[in-house]
Amino acid sequence: MGENETILEVRDVSVRYGAIRAISNVSFSVKRGEILTLIGSNGAGKTTTLRAISGMVRCTGNVRFMDQEIAGTRPDVLVTRGLCHCPEGRGIFANMSVEENLNLGAFIRSDKHEIEKDKQRVFELFPRIKERLKQNAGTLSGGEQQMLAIGRALLARPKLLLLDEPSLGLAPQLVQTIFKIIREINAQGVSILLVEQNAHMALQVAHHAVVLEVGKVAMTGLASDLAKSDEVRKAYLGHG
């Protein structure tokens, strides 16, 4: 398999909620080993796009993951194929302990030994999680919850990780940490599709970027190019 092989290809995907079309004809592709970020303002359809890919909402169009058509496949099946979605708002099971949350991440796996090893790796990435293993996940702070969510997703050994707003509601230093970790994870060979509001950070870590505006792709390109683009700044800050 070549270095630049496409791991995920989204072509002409549209999603409708009742009479409202949330995204229309969105197309982009994620290459193996890269971080692609999907940015855009609130309501632009970023989350919907992720949900369409992971089979949580019905969509029209084609989604190919590792050369297989996956549009309409149930999310739990996709997890077994290596596509993990870390949802917006973290999706922590607040009624369970941190450890149980982690174990659920490895739900599809039965290789106890390997899981244990992977857990150690997660603890290396997030030492704070290890300290709170027995604690109820609901009592963690926002940043810790986000770490737990990412760590949990890693335990499924994903080939492609969908991250939805990992910086949401986090203090700036924490945001830095999270992005550092995202980069580390990527360095370990996991492709990442990152949805972010924090455009600046996202464009710093990503290789490629897609800008969504009201449900449509407004721009695509190298993250570094887009970072310099005034369009993006304008979209976010309203600078003239």
Partner 1 sequence: MAELLQIMVAVVAVGSLYALIALGYTMVYGILKFINFAHSDVFVLGAWVSLVLSVMIISALKLAPGSSPPLWIAPLVLIAAMVVCGLVGFAIERLAYKPLRKAPRLNVLITAIGVSLLLQNVGQLTGFAVAKDDDGKTIATVPFGPSPKRMPSLLPETAAPDPNLAKPLVLIQPVDVFIFVSAIVLMVGLQYLVFRTKFGAAMRAVSFNTETAALMGIRVDRVISVTFVTGAMLAAAAGFMYALKYPGLNQTAHETWVLLGLKAFVAAVVGGIGNVRGAVLGGFLIAFIEFMGMYCFSKYLDPVLHTNMGTNLRDVYVFAMLIFVLLVRPAGILGSQLKEKV
Partner 2 sequence: MSDYLLDVRGIGISFGGLKACDGLTVQIPTGGLHGLIGPNGAGKTTAFNLITGVYRTQMGSVTLDGVKVDHLRPHEIAKAGLSRTFQNIRLFSELSVLDNVKLACHCRGRHTLLGTLLRTPRFVAQERAMTARAIEMLDVFSLQHLAGEQAKNLPYGDQRRLEICRALATEPKVLLLDEPAAGMNPSEKKALAQSIKLIREQFKLAVLLIEHDMGLVMDICEKITVLDHGCTIAHGTPSEIQNNPKVQEAYLGEPATA
Partner 3 sequence: MSGELQQLVPTMMPSAARALLKGVALPVASALVLGLVMQFVVGPAIGAYPASVALQVGISVMLAVSLNIVNGYTGQFSIGHAGFFAVGAYVGAGISYYAALSGIDPASGQQPSQALSNGAWLVWNDGQNFLFSYGEWRMILASIVGGCVAAGLGYIVGLPSLRLRGDYLAIVTLGFGEITRVLLTQTKPQIFDRDELAATHAKDWVIPPMGGATGFSDIPAYASLMWVWFFVAVMIFFAYRVKQSSTGRALLSIREDEIAARSMGVNITKYKVRAFVLAAGLAGLAGSLYAHTGQVIRPQEAGFQRSFEVIIFVVLGGMGSISGVVLAAIILSILPEALRDLSEYRLIVYALLLILMMIVRPKGLFGVREIWEFWPFTRAKKSEKKVITP
Cβ proximity to partner 2, 117 vs 228, nearer residue: 228
Helix residue spans in the chain (DSSP H): 46-53, 75-81, 98-105, 112-125, 127-131, 142-154, 172-187, 199-205, 223-228, 230-237
Which residues within the stretch 148-187 sit at the binding site for partner 2 (CB under 8 A)? 165, 167-169, 171-172, 175
Cβ proximity to partner 3, 43 vs 138, nearer residue: 43
Contact flag: residue 54 with partner 1 (CB under 8 A)? yes
Number of residues that bind partner 1 (CB under 8 A): 24
d(CA 93, CA 102): 10
Binding-site partner at residue 27 among partner 1, partner 3, partner 2, none, CB < 5 to 8 Å by type: none
- DSSP 8-state symbol, 136: B
| Rounded least distance, CB 56 to partner 1, Å | 6
- The strand pair at 83-86 and 160-164 is best described as parallel
Contact flag: residue 239 with partner 2 (CB under 8 A)? yes
User: Which pair of tokens denotes residue 111?
Assistant: 């290789």
Binding-site partner at residue 24 among partner 2, partner 3, partner 1, none, CB < 5 to 8 Å by type: partner 3
Cβ proximity to partner 2, 121 vs 233, nearer residue: 233
> How does DSSP assign 151-212, residue by residue?
HHHHTT--SEEEEE-TTTT--HHHHHHHHHHHHHHHHTT-EEEEEES-HHHHHHH-SEEEEE
**Segment contacting partner 3 (CB under 8 A): 18-26, 63-71, 103-111, 136-144?**
18-26
**Segment contacting partner 1 (CB under 8 A): 17-25, 38-46, 101-109, 184-192?**
101-109
Residue with tokens 């970790």: 181
User: Which pair of tokens denotes residue 107?
Assistant: 């739900």
Residues that bind partner 1 (CB under 8 A): 54, 56, 74-76, 79-80, 84-87, 91, 93-96, 100, 103-105, 107-108, 152, 156
